[in-house]
Amino acid sequence: MLLSPIETIVILALMMLATQTTRFLPFLLFPADRETHPYVAYLGKVLPYAVIGFLVVYCLKGVDVMAAPYGLPEALAIGVIVVLQLWKGNSLVSIGAGTAIYMVLVQGVLG
């Protein structure tokens, strides 16, 4: 489907408006001079852990432990992530190294 120039401009304008709205809205709803509502502070504390939990479940939902390679790449990558996180405490290093290990195992060693 080919869009006309007018349709393209309208779509781009709406995308720009939506992006700017999502960028500015938090500053309008939660100004710096007002105290943050306790519920919002609570969500800020618990949501990161919940999101990570959901991501782990989502990433592991397709692993078949009854067929080769029996979830070994995933288990090794998770082990690397846990060890690096406990040792270094740097999420970027932990996730980056775990992803690299997983990709090497899947693409080359166990794939």
Q: How far apart are CA 101 and CA 110, in angstroms?
A: 11
Q: Are residues 59 and 91 in the same domain?
A: no
Contact in structure between 105 and 72 (CB atoms under 8 Å): yes
Alpha carbon of residue 29 to chain centroid: 25
Q: Are residues 91 and 51 in the same domain?
A: no
Q: Are residues 41 and 3 in the same domain?
A: no
Give me the mean pLDDT over the 26-48 stretch: 91
Q: Are residues 14 and 27 in the same domain?
A: yes
What's the number of domains the chain is made of? 3
* pLDDT for 30: 87
- Residue 111: pLDDT over 70: no
Per-residue pLDDT of 65-103, as tens digits, reads 998 889 999 999 999 999 999 999 999 999 999 999 999
Q: Are residues 69 and 58 in the same domain?
A: no
* pLDDT for 104: 95
Q: Are residues 41 and 59 in the same domain?
A: yes
Q: Are residues 47 and 78 in the same domain?
A: no
Closest CA relative to residue 59, chosen from 81, 79, 74, 80? 74
Average pLDDT of the chain to the nearest whole number: 93
Q: Which domain holds residue 44?
A: 35-63
Q: Are residues 2 and 40 in the same domain?
A: no
pTM value?
0.63
Q: Are residues 44 and 78 in the same domain?
A: no
